[in-house]
Amino acid sequence: MDCPQDLIRQLYGEMLPELPGIKRWTPGREKALRLRWSERAKELDWKTADEGVAWFRKFFETVSRSDFLMGRVERHNGHAGWVCDVDFLLKPERFTKIIEGGYASHRPDAT
């Protein structure tokens, strides 16, 4: 099943308005989202795109509760004001760490 990229991008903007918006949807970003979508669809055996969209909604909810990812913690060494962005979220190692609760402010709720 194809990844509904426009819908996921819209969901990102609606659910995480405090994070940097997506101004350009580059081929690299498109590929990264498609790969993350495919990995989760296979692993979780999604039958419909709606299941995938619902999963990404939970994923973005998890991100929104992370003080680290949302920039609600004190930063040092030139990182003042840092918040994650869509590229950070879609990197394979970061994506996995978020899913596993590695950035949770209050230990994980499974996604």
Helix orientation angle between 92-99 and 27-44, rounded to the nearest 10 degrees: 40
Mean pLDDT of the chain: 92
Q: What is the pLDDT of residues 46-71, one digit of tens each?
A: 999 999 999 999 999 999 999 989 98
- Alpha-carbon distance of 11 to 83, in angstroms, equals 18
Q: Which H or E run contains 35?
A: helix 27-44
pTM of the model: 0.89
